[in-house]
Structure 1
Amino acid sequence: MSRMSRESTSAEQLPEYAERVLEVAELIPPGRVMTYGDVAEWLGEGGPRQVGRVMALYGGAAPWWRVVRADGVLLPGHEQRALAHYRSEDTPLREAARAAAGHLPKIDMARARWDGGAGDSADEGAHI
């Protein structure tokens, strides 16, 4: 998932924004997702591209599969790994219209999207 895992990066090397993005990713409950834009909105800074860049560079040790595209398409190049996580966490999926090989499900965004609200997480949705 990433070129650099979070453990291999010391606190001094990890940009503050990246640390905050990864903290939000860790708040997302199993079986739920936030979009890149949702994470940026939660933080009140940056945008989907900045969040995506952080996840690509530093997200390997975080639950990267819980930060997704708004259309629910699985992360290109990581589809099978992500799908295994989604299935083990019972993340709502929309099965492909054709179950033939190569047709992957999408995340059911209407059911899986987490707004960071209280009661869904042990952290009670506390903002970072």
Structure 2
Amino acid sequence: MKRKAQAVWNGSIKEGNGHLTTASTVLNQTQYSFKSRFEDGIGTNPEELLAAAHAGCFTMKLSLDLTQAGYEVTELRTSSTITLLEGKITLSELNLEASVAGIDEATFQKMAKEAEATCPVSGAFNFEIVLNAHLKN
């Protein structure tokens, strides 16, 4: 499997702007700029997209693992916060709220940690990943 996206940038880093397009066109000339990355401008930014990718990948991996283990997943709700510090991404913090029928806390925590460690996006990151998993049953 291969997935593709394109970035176009025009102008200088502070005054310029760009857009991102994915092959699926879910992002279709979606704007990004210095302001959307480092201030409160309109548009997306690379760190936001990494956060979405990590939250989505981890959540799907955990759903797969739980389902294969025979548990019924009601809802997995994950947020990821990417930290950019001094020009380097240093952390992705995953916060998970889960409703899973029939699972005990210890098994849930073990499976969540294994999914965090084995989801493809986690494997691609070369920075710290923190997982805070909460079972709501």
**TM-score, normalising length: structure 2:** 0.25
**Would you tell me which structure has more strand in proportion to its own residues?**
2
**Would you tell me which structure has more helix in proportion to its own residues?**
1
Structure ID, larger Rg: 2
Q: Which has the higher contact order (CA 8 A, sep 6+)?
A: 1
**TM-score, normalising length: structure 1:** 0.26
